[in-house]
Amino acid sequence: MADISQPHPTSTANRALWISTVAFTLCFAVWTLFAIIGIRIKQELGLSEAEFGLLIGLPVLSGSLSRILLGIWTGRYGGRLVYTATMLSAAAATFLLSRATTYPEMLIAGLGVGLAGGSFAVGVAYVSPFFPPERQGTALGIFGAGNVGAAVTKFLAPFVLLAWGWQAVAEIWALALAVMAVMFWFTTGDDPEYRRRKLHGRAPKPFLQEFAPLKDPRVWRFSLYYFFAFGGFVALSLWLPRYLVGAYGFELETAGMLATAYSIPGGIFRAYGGVLSDRIGARTVMYLVFMVSAVATLILALPATPPFAIGPIVFVLAVFVLGFVMSLGKAAVFKHIAAYYPDSIGAVGGVVGMVGGLGGFVLPVAFGVLKDVTGLWSSCFLLLFFVVAVSLCWMHRTIRLTTPARAGASA
């Protein structure tokens, strides 16, 4: 038997990473399913705007809230089991969605579909122990690149929907996720930390003790970072088509293509953010993210009226720069978590992931409210600037007052 007190062989670790990343890509594709099929469901059931908003938002909400428990269960029962069970549960809910005929039935199914988004906390806690600290940023950045699953759904689902109907989209996505769950179970093993605990007969820590790290203010500071980096990124992905049509008069097709182009690099650059965090330190990356974001959001917050108005070309360039640094920030946040909480990645990563996911749910609503109150499309970027400013000031003040406990991470 291999000595599991030592880091896993590179081939084993890499296999766990890449299979987990593919699995998360499919999970994310399922999680964002309502972005496409929800439009057809709205037409068929004659839903109001409020009912439609609840339908597409509920999976985001349940997926975000589930991340805490899923992260903790991963630490207690192992990522291989919890990841597989999560995918199978989400696949079953997605298949049942295809059989739903009433609005309440679809809402109940949507709660289960949201579990696919909760898989992020499982994957983070599962992948991290396979890699030494100096490589965890890179590994988690690659895993997080599974966010491109949203672009997969946006690109493929409309073709399936037009050919066979929205029910077929749900059935095919459910089947793909179920097959992935079976493949994951038979091609991966338990992570080194869980295997070590089983080998030595150590019982998991008491359940309530799993929440002990949440008393640390750093957890909530990192959560704010992720609220901006991930939540803000998701919110802009959803809001951009509406913004470009309303503020600049773009055709909906063009606005949708730009939003898709904005979403796809986000996953790829997240992987680069992990590499960068390992090389120069997560703290340095977060300083870069916040300073560039502050400048970009201030430019984008200029009201679209003379003499302040910026043209559509400048807008698109600035928002792509913002999306790029947000992607770096998503990876840097989880580099912090792996460095500071190696024994509580499931719980802490679950909370941080939950807050980030809630950002993707809350911010689009806030953007709409601000537009209604101020009449300014650019008011959403003023809100993002405020979040950036608070995050940067909190981070800088903490670093000045304390000595970093670990290299490569912020205080």
Q: Which structural domain range is residue 319 located in? A: 210-411
Domain boundary among 159, 194, 229: 194
Q: What confidence score (pLDDT) does residue 304 get?
A: 64
Q: In this predicted model, what pLDDT tens digit does every residue of 204-255 receive, in sequence order?
A: 667 666 677 778 888 899 999 999 998 998 888 878 877 888 888 888 678 7
d(CA 314, CA 300): 9
Q: Is 203 left (phi over 0), alpha (psi -120 to 50) or beta?
A: beta
Mean pLDDT of 254-281: 82
Percent of the chain with pLDDT over 70: 91
Q: What is the pLDDT of residues 296-342, one digit of tens each?
A: 999 999 876 676 778 888 998 999 999 999 999 998 998 888 888 87
Predicted confidence (pLDDT) at residue 49 exceeds the cutoff of 50: yes
Residue 3: what pLDDT?
A: 38
pTM of structure: 0.79
- Supply angle C-alpha 117, 59, 146, rounded to 5: 25
| pLDDT recorded at residue 5 | 39
Cα-only R_g, the chain = 21
**Which phi and psi (to 5°) does residue 304 adopt?**
-80, 50
State the pLDDT at residue 207.
66
Better pLDDT: 140 or 225: 225
**How open is the CA angle 147-150-152, to the nearest 5 degrees?**
110
Domain boundary among 194, 225, 259: 194
Distance CA 287, CA 382 (A): 19
Do residues 120 and 216 both lie within one domain? no
Most confident residue range from 103-117, 194-208, 235-249: 103-117
Contact (CB, 8 A) for 404 and 283: yes
Q: Based on the domain organization, do 187 and 257 belong to the same domain? A: no
Long-range contacts of 206-209 (CB under 8 A, 24+ apart): 207/72, 207/76
Total domains in the fold of the chain = 2
Same domain? 180 vs 218:
no
Q: Which of 30-34, 51-55, 136-140 is the most confident on average?
A: 30-34
Residues 24 and 57 in one domain: yes
Number of neighbouring beta carbons within 10 Å of residue 9: 11
Q: Which residues contact 153 (CB under 8 A, 6 or more apart)?
A: 29, 30, 32, 33, 35, 36, 173
Candidates 293, 263, 301; CA nearest to 380 is 301
**Residues 50 and 89 both lie in one domain:** yes
Residue range 360-408, pLDDT digits in tens: 888 888 888 888 888 888 999 999 999 999 999 999 998 888 754 444 4
